[in-house]
A = this chain, B = another copy of it.
Amino acid sequence: MSDASQRPEARAPRGFIDRRARDLAAEREILTRVSAVYERYGFEALDTGAFEYADALGKFLPDADRPNEGVFALQDDDEQWMALRYDLTAPLARFVAQHWETLPKPFRRYAFGPVWRNEKPGPGRYREFVQCDADTVGSARPEADAEIIAMAAEGLGAAGLPTGAYVIKINNRKLLNGLLATAGVTTEGQKLAVLRAVDKLDRLGPDGVRLLLGEGRKDESGAFTKGAGLDAKSAQAVLAFTAAGVAGSRSETLDAIARVIGGSAEGDEGLEELSRIERALTGLGVGADQAIFDPSVVRGLEYYTGAVFEAELLLETTDDKGEPVRFGSVGGGGRYDDLVARFTGERTPATGFSFGVSRLASALRAAGRDLGGASRGPVVVIAFSQDDMGAYFQLVGELRAAGIAAEVYLGGSGMKAQMKYADRRMSPAAVILGGDEIAAGTVTVKDLDLGRALSAGVTDNAAWRTERPGQQTIPRGELITALRRILEA
C-alpha cells in the first residue's frame, strides 16, 4: 500500500460523535414512543431538509468575514448563502410561511432530527445533536398551550420517566410584565436585572435575591454584584410573586399570584390565560404532580411572547465522581408569535415544546430507566469446518425465522477467538454444531450470559450450575426452546 505519511488519519471532526448500538437503541425507543404520543394528540410528522437559506434562518446572517458564526454556512453555486439548521423552529416558520394557504389551520406538527451548531465543542457539548419538537401554529388559544404541556408530560412518561420524576413548570411572560408594572419597573436595564435576580432564586434563596433586587450583593469571594435598585416594597412584591408557585394546587398558585399583581392590565391577561390552561389541563387529566405554575421560571422569557414551559427532572442524581447533582431541565418551550411574521408580515400565533433526545436518554439513565439495556448481540454459531457451512447457515436461518438474532462466525480464527467475538458482541449464547453433533442430531449450547454473571461474581456458582448448566448438549429440535430460556432469564 501507499506511503504511510500519505495516509489520512482516521478521526471524526471535532464535536461530532459516533453512536453505537446501545445509545442508538435508547434514542430510537424514545423517538418511537414519543412519536406515538404526539400522533395520538393529532400532530403530524414533518421533515424539512438539513439546509435553509441563511436569510430564512434569520438569526445568524453570515457575513463575508465570519460566514460560520454560530452556524455551518456555505455559499451555493448560485451565490446564495445556505446554512445547516440550528434548531427545528426556524425551518418550521419557513415551511408554514411557504405553504400557509394550503395547510390545515391550526397546523400541528412534530419533527425530530439532527441540528447543527458551529460552537466550541466541550465535554458533553456537541456540534450536532438530535432534537424533537412539537408545535401548533395558528392558534392563539391558551388551550393550545395546554395541549402542548399535556403532550410533553405524556411523552416524558411514555419515554419512561415515572410520575414524580419530572414536572413541567409553567409561567407566562405577561405575568412578569404585570409584576414589573406593579413593582414600578420601567427601564429595560432594571427589568433585566430583576429577571436575572429571580433566576438565581434556586441558588441564593429569597434573602440573596432580595439583595440583588435592591442595592446589590457581595458574595463569599467579596465580589459585588450591583442590584436592580428596587425599593423594599417592590422587592417584597417580586419575592411574593416568585413564592406563589409553592402554594399548592394550580388554582391556589393563581390566586396567590393574583393577590400580588391583580389589577395590572397585562397581569390580568396572563392570569386569564393561565386559568384557561388550568381548566384544559384538568380536563385532560394532567395533575399537579405533572404540571405546575411556577412564577420563578424566567428562562427564555425574552424569546417567548406568552406562556413558557420548562420540563425539569426532579430526581437527585450523581455525577461521575459520585457527587449529588441536580439534573435540571430536560426540555422546554412556550408561545412565540413573531417567527412566521418575519416572512409574511402577519403575526401568526404559535406555541411549542422541544427536547434534546440524548439529554432525555441521559435523564432516563439517571432515573434507572435506560432504554438501551435491551440491546444485545446475536446468538453466535461457531464455525469449525468449511464443509459444514451449509448446516450452520440452515441453523441460523431457523433461529432467525423464530425471531432469534443469530449469525455464523465468519472470521478466519479458531475456537478461542470465536468465543471472544461472541463475548464482545454481548451474545447471550454460542451454539456448537461439530461433526459429532451433526451426526447425532444434537447441538451444544454455551450460556454466555451465565458465564458473564459468574465472572462478575453476581451469583453463586454451584447453585446456578445445578439448575442452569453453562454448557449442554441437547437434541437439535430443542434448541429454540433452550435459547429462549437463556434470552428470557
Interface residues of A, Cβ cutoff 8 Å to B: 1-2, 4, 7-14, 16-21, 24-25, 28, 39-42, 44-53, 55-56, 58, 68, 72-74, 76-78, 80, 82, 84, 94-95, 97-98, 103-106, 108, 114, 116, 118, 128, 136, 138-141, 143-144, 146-147, 276, 279-280, 282-285, 341-347, 377-378, 380, 389-394, 396-397, 400, 403-408, 410-412, 421, 424-425
B341 adjacent to A49 (CB under 8 Å): no
A57 and chain B: residue at smallest CB distance: B8
Chain B residue numbers with a CB within 8 Å of A98 are 10-12
B144 adjacent to A410 (CB under 8 Å): yes
**In the complex the two chains form, what is the Cα distance from A392 to B284 in whole Å?**
9
Residue in A19, A118, A406, A411 with the greatest tally of chain B CB atoms within 10 Å = A411
**In the complex the two chains form, what is the Cα distance from A3 to B150 in whole Å?**
38
- Give the shortest distance, in Å, between A275 (CB) and chain B (any CB): 11
**In the complex the two chains form, what is the Cα distance from A346 to B2 in whole Å?**
10
- Give the shortest distance, in Å, between A296 (CB) and chain B (any CB): 27
A68 adjacent to B73 (CB under 8 Å): no
**Would you mind naming 12 contact pairs between A and B with Cβ atoms under 8 Å apart?**
A1-B345, A8-B342, A10-B95, A12-B48, A12-B94, A41-B378, A41-B400, A42-B378, A49-B128, A50-B114, A108-B407, A141-B410
- Copies of this chain, how many? 2
B280 adjacent to A393 (CB under 8 Å): yes
A106 adjacent to B411 (CB under 8 Å): yes
A24 adjacent to B10 (CB under 8 Å): no
A102 and chain B: residue at smallest CB distance: B424
A412 adjacent to B114 (CB under 8 Å): no
Chain B residue numbers with a CB within 8 Å of A46 are 18-21, 24
B280 adjacent to A53 (CB under 8 Å): no
Enumerate the 9 nearest inter-chain pairs by beta-carbon distance, A residue then B residue, closest first: A283-B393, A16-B49, A42-B407, A42-B378, A10-B97, A104-B424, A8-B55, A10-B98, A283-B390
A425 adjacent to B104 (CB under 8 Å): yes
Residue in A105, A391, A393 with the greatest tally of chain B CB atoms within 10 Å = A393
Q: Known: A11-B53, A74-B73. Is A95-B389 also a contact (CB below 8 A)?
A: no
B24 adjacent to A391 (CB under 8 Å): no
Known: A13-B53, A50-B116, A104-B425. 17 other contacts (CB 8 A): A1-B345, A7-B343, A7-B345, A13-B82, A18-B49, A40-B400, A41-B378, A41-B405, A42-B377, A49-B128, A51-B128, A68-B77, A141-B410, A146-B393, A282-B390, A283-B393, A285-B397
